[in-house]
Amino acid sequence: GAGVSQSPSNKVTEKGKDVELRCDPISGHTALYWYRQSLGQGLEFLIYFQGNSAPDKSGLPSDRFSAERTGGSVSTLTIQRTQQEDSAVYLCASSVETGTSNQPQHFGDGTRLSIL
Amino acid sequence: AQSVSQHNHHVILSEAASLELGCNYSYGGTVNLFWYVQYPGQHLQLLLKYFSGDPLVKGIKGFEAEFIKSKFSFNLRKPSVQWSDTAEYFCAVKGGLRGTYKYIFGTGTRLKVLA
C-alpha cells in the first residue's frame, strides 16, 4: 500500500520567503509527526498531531513555524520568513494511533529544504 | 532531561565482521525502544522494537538488540555484517505509558561496510 508521502522532495528558496511543506500520511493513521533533521544531528521533534489537534507544539523552533492538519489526514508545515538555519530535511511520520504504545512510526522520504 | 546517546558516529567494518552499535538513554519510567535504519536514498524504516517481555529482541535482516534496564542501554548487534548493511542507524526512545507520544532520537551512526 501507499506509504507516507511528502512534497516537495526538494525545495530551494531565498532567505525571507515563506515555504509550505506537505505530508500525506498513510490512510487510517491518526497520529502524525513532524521532525527536522539537520546535518550531523538526530531527528528533532517539531510537532505531533492526534487527529486534527496538536497537543504538543513545544518542538517548534520559533513562531515562524506553524503546522496544521485537516480532515485528520494531510498536514502542512509552514515556515515564514525563512532563515538559513532553517535548511534541513523535514521528515513526516505517521502511525495508527498512540493510545497503545506498540505502534511504530512510518516515515516519508522527507523534504530537503535549502535556504539561500 | 530525556535524551538518547549514540556513541559511535561513524563505523567502518569489513564484510563478515561483527557489529555492535551503542545506545544509551535517559528517561524516567517505562520505555519503549526502537532502532530505525535509513539506507542510502531511502526513508527511515523500523529495524526492531522493544516494548516488554524478553529483553533480547530480534529484528529484520539478522539484527538483534538487547535491553539492559540497569544500564539504560539498548545496543544493536549483528554477528556478521554484509555490504548491504551500509546505512545510517538511529536509536529512539518513547515513554511506555498509554498516551505517550513523543519519540526522542539519537544523532545516528553511519555504518559503512567494505566489500
pLDDT of A113 strictly over 90: yes
Q: Chain A contact for B102, CB < 8 A? A: yes
Q: Give the number of other Cβ atoms within 10 Å of residue A92's Cβ.
A: 28
Q: What confidence tens digit (pLDDT) does each residue in B36-91 have?
A: 999 998 989 999 999 889 999 999 999 999 999 999 999 999 999 999 999 999 99
How many A/B residue pairs have CB atoms within 8 Å? 60
Q: What confidence tens digit (pLDDT) does each residue in B17-32 have?
A: 999 999 999 987 888 9
Pairing of strands B10-14, B109-114: parallel
Most B CBs within 10 Å: which of A89, A97, A101, as the mutation test of the B interface?
A: A101
**Which pLDDT score, from 0 to 100, does residue B1 have?**
72
Nearest residue of A to residue B88, measured between CA atoms: A42
Q: Cα(A44)–Cα(B15) distance, rounded to whole angstroms?
A: 32
Q: Cα(B59)–Cα(A23) distance, rounded to whole angstroms?
A: 28
pLDDT of A92 strictly over 60: yes
Amino acid letter at A94? S
Q: Chain A contact for B60, CB < 8 A? A: no
Coil/strand/helix, residue B83: helix
Nearest residue of B to residue A36, measured between CA atoms: B105
Task: Quote the percentage of chain A above a pLDDT of 70.
Answer: 95
Q: Cα(A8)–Cα(A39) distance, rounded to whole angstroms?
A: 19
CB contact under 8 A, A109 and B43: yes
CB contact under 8 A, A42 and B107: yes
CB < 8 Å to A105, chain B: 46, 103
Q: What is the DSSP letter of A86?
A: G
Q: What is the DSSP letter of A39?
A: T
Distance from CA of A80 to the nearest CA of B (A): 25
Distance from CA of B84 to the nearest CA of A (A): 19
Nearest residue of A to residue B4, measured between CA atoms: A42
Q: What confidence tens digit (pLDDT) does each residue in A21-31 have?
A: 999 999 989 99
The set of residues, in sequence order, having a beta carbon less than 8 Å from that of A32 and lying 6+ positions away, is: A23, A25, A48, A49, A69, A75, A92, A93, A94
CB contact under 8 A, B99 and A99: yes
* CA nearest to B25, candidates B111, B89, B88, B105: B105
**Which pLDDT score, from 0 to 100, does residue B7 have?**
87
**Which pLDDT score, from 0 to 100, does residue A99 have?**
57
- Record the cell numbers describing residue B112, joined without a space: 559503512
Nearest residue of B to residue A89, measured between CA atoms: B43
CB contact under 8 A, B32 and A102: yes
CB < 8 Å to A34, chain B: none
